[in-house]
Amino acid sequence: MWSLIFVTTLALSSAIAKTVNLPSNDTWQYSFEVDYENNQFLLDGKPFRYVSGSFHYFRAPRQYWRDRLRKMRAAGLNAVSTYVEWSLHEPEPGQFNWVGDADLIEFLNIAQEEDLLVLLRPGPYICAERDLGGLPYWLLREVPNIKLRTKDTAFMNYATAYLNQVLEKVKPLLRGNGGPIIMVQIENEYGSYDACDTEYTDMLKEIVAQKVGNKALLYTTDGASASMLRCGFVPGAYATIDFGTSVNVTNSFQSMRLYQPRGPLVNSEFYPGWLTHWGETFQRVKTEAVTKTLREMLALGASVNIYMFYGGTNFAFTSGANGGVGVYSPQITSYDYDAPLTEAGDPTDKYFAIRNVIGEYLSLPNMSLPTASPKGNYGPVLLEPTQKLFDSQSSFVVSWATGNKPETFEYLSVNQGFVLYETDLPHSVSDPAILRAIVKDRALVYVDGRLSGTLSRIDKMFTIPLESPYGRRLSLLVENQGRLNFGNEIHDFKGVSNVTISGTSLINWNMTGYAFTDVSSLGDVSTIDVESGTLHNGPVFLRGRFTIIGQPLDTFLDTTGWGKGVAFVNGHNLGRYWPLVGPQITLYVPAPYLRTGENELILLELEYVSQTRKMKFQSVPNLNVGSPSSDR
């Protein structure tokens, strides 16, 4: 006898529960359940399997949601998987945001209109290579000793309020209510987190179940090993796994069978590409390896979600970092992922190869195939210095405090961006002296306003010598390069600590926090004197204007020749650039960020001004993709 779960009617006779011959009355019109006897899903009572693709709505302007979803459907996909990012929707406690690029309901509605079902992954933790794994920074401020991703009372109180908000909003869009959402994930790859708090995951499951009821299927996903499934498995939720091209498909699914002995095989994250960190070559996966593994899975009757099918962009400061004890590797701004659709939404050879494989197992929609969109080549823009970051009249100061020790970004309510820590050096120190500090993540060190060196968590550089240091002003401009998004060290407070000069602790700190949510207050071009080359006297804002004739097109900002900084187009934060380290050289500029007529480019350059003082908008990206491909 097989068991039927998550049906859409509350009253079932025992006769109905023992058969797959579902009645035809309207109460059975919409449902998604598991036929355990035949190892398959049932959609609205009929055998079904999905081939889905991941696309996170928060990585593309909402103007492009339909375009990307339609291209996914044209590839033969019948579902889309998306995370829901807590930090986006609740940027401060109790202040919820569901508009603009955070309009989750609009995204789900468009998915349904484009004939795609939805796999919803609301967290509360999502990883996703996002800052703090999508958890809001203020958790670390409100309760500094909070135990993230556990039954910790404070964490559960905040997580419950957030989940209830999300689930209440999406309730009308659950499959049982006629919507596209067929599955809702509990947590995210919890088996990869050492806490292994099964009470926590059970509590989350109950929260979700109370809102979802029998209107969609609850599920989990974990790495394809018994050790990961042991802590990630949640009774009452369907257990799935994830893996890429470098494993044995049959052996991987055998791991799933240890905890899910019956039901359809599912790979919830099949990797056609991979993420990239600053300072490494752009990561790629061979198309042949992707199609071979996909074909093997589909031949077994498995359902598959391709992570990512469209990656998009980590605009502003939203990218996270990987690492742990002694290791720190922040991700680049682009989330192209070597995915079937590029960062700009263009189909690749991998796209068409995947479509051909899907067509061997599912009916392909009668849709025209996508082509690459035209791109704008808007040429060079001359940038003139406008204002120094350390200007006493700066409108970007969002926090100011004093104290005997340097406080964290979180304590100062600075989510992303920079904090300037300043103090006076003692008179009685040796010359030269050794400055030592634990920095998270990168600090430009100034003595009396002049650059003396850099401290770096990436490079494990925590000491520099200072000449003639006595009685002078020490300034440390600390940059948050992205909180850890994966692993057991995600309690990743930002700032600087344990600051000493030749062994003497430094006290009496002034702390100034900066944020750049609105750069419109930046003054017009001024007469400040900034030479090209190394910025010895601190970061500067530069501004340039350029004209677009006709309808704006997507374009790419070439940062070659500059140091490290952040770029804004018409007030939109494109994200971090760092061409000296790479591999990413260009920043993607979506056409919705541009306008016909005059446009504005603003840079916050931290370290080095190009000799030409120009950046150009070009029609092709440069992510340094010439690196060799690999299997994953």
Q: Which residues are catalytic?
A: 189, 269
**DSSP-derived secondary structure letter, 481:** -
Q: Are 410 and 141 spatial neighbours (Cβ–Cβ below 8 Å)?
A: yes
Instruction: Enumerate residues 6+ apart whose C-beta is below 8 A from 389.
Output: 396, 418, 477, 514, 538, 539, 540, 541, 604
Instruction: Enumerate residues 6+ apart whose C-beta is below 8 A from 564.
Output: 576, 577, 578, 580, 581, 605, 606, 607, 608
129 closest CA partner among 325, 332, 418: 332
Around Cβ 69, how many Cβ atoms within 10 Å? 24
- The dihedral through the CA atoms of 42, 44, 50, 54 has a sign that is negative
Q: Are 189 and 232 spatial neighbours (Cβ–Cβ below 8 Å)?
A: yes
> Hey, what amino acid is at 572?
H
Q: Are 471 and 424 spatial neighbours (Cβ–Cβ below 8 Å)?
A: yes
Around Cβ 23, how many Cβ atoms within 10 Å? 13
- Strands of the sheet containing 46-48, edge to edge, are 32-35, 40-43, 46-48
CA distance 47 to 41: 6
CA distance 483 to 494: 8
Helices within 213-348 (DSSP H only) = 226-232, 249-259, 287-299
613 closest CA partner among 346, 328, 383, 269: 383
Around Cβ 11, how many Cβ atoms within 10 Å? 6
CA distance 632 to 360: 24
CA distance 395 to 409: 18
Q: What's the token pair of residue 434?
A: 């050794």
CA distance 289 to 303: 18
Strand duo 217-223 + 418-424: pairing: unpaired
